[in-house]
Structure 1
Amino acid sequence: MDALESILKKISFFQNLNCPLQDLVKKMHLERFEENTDIFSEGDQGSSLYLIISGRVLIYSKSSTGQEMAIQTLEPSDIFGEMSLLDGGYRSACARTLEKSIVFSLERKDFLEFLDNNPKAAVTIIETLSKRLRQSNIRNKILIETNRKLSTQNNDQKQSAGNTPGQATDEQQEQLAEEKKEYSIKADRAGMEEREESGFAGVLEQHLYEVEHSAEEDEKPRVKKDTDLREMLYNKKVVCPICNSKFESPKALSKYVQTTKMDYDFCQYYKNINPLFYEMIVCPICGFTFNEEILGMRLKKEQSEEIKSRLMTFWQENKLKDYSGVRTLEEAIETFLLAIYSLQGRPVKKSLMGMLFLKIAWLYRFKHEKVQERKYIEKALTSLSIAFESEDFSNVRSEINTAYLLGVLNMNSGNYREAAKWLDRVLRHPSKSMFPMVINQTRELWSDVRQKLREGKEQKKLNEDVSE
């Protein structure tokens, strides 16, 4: 039971309740399901929440044509069926195991008894459910639109079948399959981003809390330093793309931006003022955070409204700080974290996300926090790898720089074989002569990677000899 309590404390639905969870744990029941077993169906009376301990569960719905539409694939530590805890209403989707699964269930009556004994927890639960419901509404919009398309295509299929039997049916079936595949990808991605959003909001809140409660610095040298830095800034007039507020955001004057050195992954160090601290623009009204690339994204009206609503909820629990003056390293990190939080659930290019993660890693490097730096380098690696395979790099410089970065970041992470693959791709690129600086750095790194691989082979052979 102690292990189950530890799991609950790590889940966003329970972790902020600020009350003992032992009583709740005692009310949970262990259940085992074989592969491909229905846990509940759409329209069933809901009376319990489920927590996955092992296995995977598919949450899906059915279209009017009978097609199964995947909504979300859940894994260990994920919960589902939570809405029924409050209203005991009908299930809005189906749940089926994809493999042998072990879950804990919590009955509604037991949960309500827990809330009666811990009334303060009820407010937190309602707020958490509201956030999850908002994400669910987004997925439902996708589902409704896809269902409409499927119904239209099904009718077209029947009409076509009457005119050209056989051939028209095959074509329509292929279109239906493509629609289902496209929706499944969108829905899975939405589900993954929902879990990421929940976790990322926690990261952001924790960062804001730690900064607020850190030890007070000596203000005298800080005041003088701020005065010096303020002279190196100018105010840029901007308009928030979410709430249309007009305001000014600080930027570094180019005459004070002097680079002293640069790391292999393009992280630059500056003598006077670091322009990276002021790259992000933070709206003082709604808190939406963006740079020039994000500003260039085209957001639909409903996307803007969803972002505005989510930010409003976030700032009800957290104080929106003033980022209009001199920024500390901590505040610079906050602005990038806010930018990523602002974009959660939006169709953002992986190359853009990769660079945001990498810049956060640079900021933690300035702060000498190795663990956090490594964490965001791994995130950058994942995003940039997907970007290289899925995005169209019409700009040769971007293509070469991305491949080079993947080589450098893999090397920094100790993935020497992957690093060798990407660096080799740069050295073999037909347009490499146009970028001599990058090519020279790639050759230097290639030599280091080969040495590491050679040492690895020698160590492996030594280990084999010792074992014999």
Structure 2
Amino acid sequence: MIEKASALYDKTVTCPHCETPFTTKRIRSGSLTVAHRDSDFCTHFKEQALNPILYSVSVCPQCGFAFNDQFQKTLTLSQAQEVQQKITAKWTPKEFGSVRQRIEAIVSYKLAIFAAELTNQPHSVKAGLYLRLAWLYRFEANEAEEIRFIRMAAAEYEESYIHSDYMRTDKEMSEVRLMYLLGELYRRLGEFDQAIRYFGKALSFRNQTIESGILRMAQDQWQIAREEYKQKTGMESPQLD
């Protein structure tokens, strides 16, 4: 078991709203052991209390603005006014910069989602927040809330695909990876037509990508989605082109 004190470190960040510098905890890269990864990329660690997603949202103790590293670094005047009126004016100073339990991480994500909506962050940024919040609820075994936020994540990822903003904000998100992820999110929602459609889009990259692992996952999950579709409808699902 890794001691929290050795795995955590203080990082100084600057609030995009009030420009106050403050310290918040982060997890040292390489300090944790992966137990397994779910088919929607949710990573489980042997030391789940030190899962990095618990700490990926920073919450300004001064003004209440919550953000992650993908947020735009500056706010427009109108965005700053919205934050001032709807967050800061109602903010009671709280400390999120020390060791976090899951419940505190959940609160930090909800604060960041509200801030992202107010400041019109890219769809991919909002989608990532929704998905990670769903994972936190998965760790809590709260299926209803997990599914609720997976649905919101899928909607935002679709908007991100339409507007191509994932290309600017998420270095790890390629088009084939996004198609696979949308397929898997819709499969988890039980929307098998949509799932099969997006897995098909991912598999259409067979001769255009070096991400062979994603293609294998798309093939496997497409087959699972087809079986689930048949169980649900009693009919064969559409074939790939």
- Residue 291 (structure 1) shift: 0.9
- Residue 449 (structure 1) shift: 1.6
Letter in 2 for 1:370: E
1 or 2 for the larger relative contact order (CA 8 Å, sep ≥6)? Answer: 2
1:404-441 residue CA offsets vs partner (Å, 9 max, x unmatched)? 11100110111111100000000002555411111111
* 5+ long unaligned stretches in structure 1: 1-224, 461-468
The 1-side partners of 2:164 and 2:7 are apart by 38
- Residue 355 (structure 1) shift: 1.2
Which protein is bigger by CA-based radius of gyration? 1
8 A contact 1:426–1:432 mirrored in 2: no
- Residue 342 (structure 1) shift: 1.7
Aligned pairs for 1:390-409 (under 5 A) are 390-391=163-164, 394=167, 397-409=173-185
Q: Select which of 413, 435, 440 maps to 2:211.
A: 435
The 2-side partners of 1:284 and 1:259 are apart by 32
- Residue 324 (structure 1) shift: 1.4
Aligned pairs for 1:145-156 (under 5 A) are none
Mapped pair 1:365 → 2:142:
no
* 5+ long unaligned stretches in structure 2: 237-241
8 A contact 1:230–1:326 mirrored in 2: no
The 2-side partners of 1:235 and 1:280 are apart by 13
8 A contact 1:250–1:325 mirrored in 2: yes
Change (3 A) 1:431 1:332: farther
Greater helix proportion:
1
1:6-25 residue CA offsets vs partner (Å, 9 max, x unmatched)? xxxxxxxxxxxxxxxxxxxx
Partner of residue 257, structure 1: 32
Change (3 A) 1:312 1:363: same
Q: TM-score, normalization: structure 2? A: 0.88
Mapped pair 1:267 → 2:53:
no
8 A contact 1:230–1:325 mirrored in 2: no
8 A contact 2:160–2:166 mirrored in 1: no
Aligned pairs for 1:135-284 (under 5 A) are 228-272=3-47, 273-284=50-61
Query: Which secondary structure state, in structure 1, belongs to the residue aligned with residue 96 of structure 2?
Result: coil
Q: Select which of 326, 333, 339 maps to 2:106.
A: 333
Aligned pairs for 1:309-348 (under 5 A) are 309-315=85-91, 319-348=92-121
The 2-side partners of 1:393 and 1:320 are apart by 33
1:243-292 residue CA offsets vs partner (Å, 9 max, x unmatched)? 11121111011232221100000000012221101101111111111111
8 A contact 2:16–2:74 mirrored in 1: no
Partner of residue 65, structure 2: 288
1:71-122 residue CA offsets vs partner (Å, 9 max, x unmatched)? xxxxxxxxxxxxxxxxxxxxxxxxxxxxxxxxxxxxxxxxxxxxxxxxxxxx
The 2-side partners of 1:348 and 1:425 are apart by 26
Partner of residue 422, structure 1: 198
- Residue 299 (structure 1) shift: 1.7
The 1-side partners of 2:151 and 2:233 are apart by 25
Partner of residue 303, structure 1: 79
Mapped pair 1:376 → 2:163:
no
8 A contact 1:396–1:431 mirrored in 2: no
Query: Which secondary structure state, in structure 1, belongs to the residue aligned with residue 30 of structure 2?
Result: helix
The 1-side partners of 2:233 and 2:9 are apart by 55
8 A contact 2:229–2:235 mirrored in 1: no
Query: Which secondary structure state, in structure 2, belongs to the residue aligned with residue 344 of structure 1?
Result: helix
The 2-side partners of 1:239 and 1:268 are apart by 28
Partner of residue 228, structure 2: 452
Change (3 A) 1:299 1:385: same
Query: Which secondary structure state, in structure 2, belongs to the residue aligned with residue 286 of structure 1?
Result: coil
The 1-side partners of 2:11 and 2:159 are apart by 34
The 1-side partners of 2:19 and 2:223 are apart by 52
8 A contact 2:184–2:195 mirrored in 1: yes
Change (3 A) 1:286 1:444: same
8 A contact 1:243–1:308 mirrored in 2: no
- Residue 346 (structure 1) shift: 2.3
Letter in 2 for 1:422: Y
Aligned pairs for 1:11-26 (under 5 A) are none
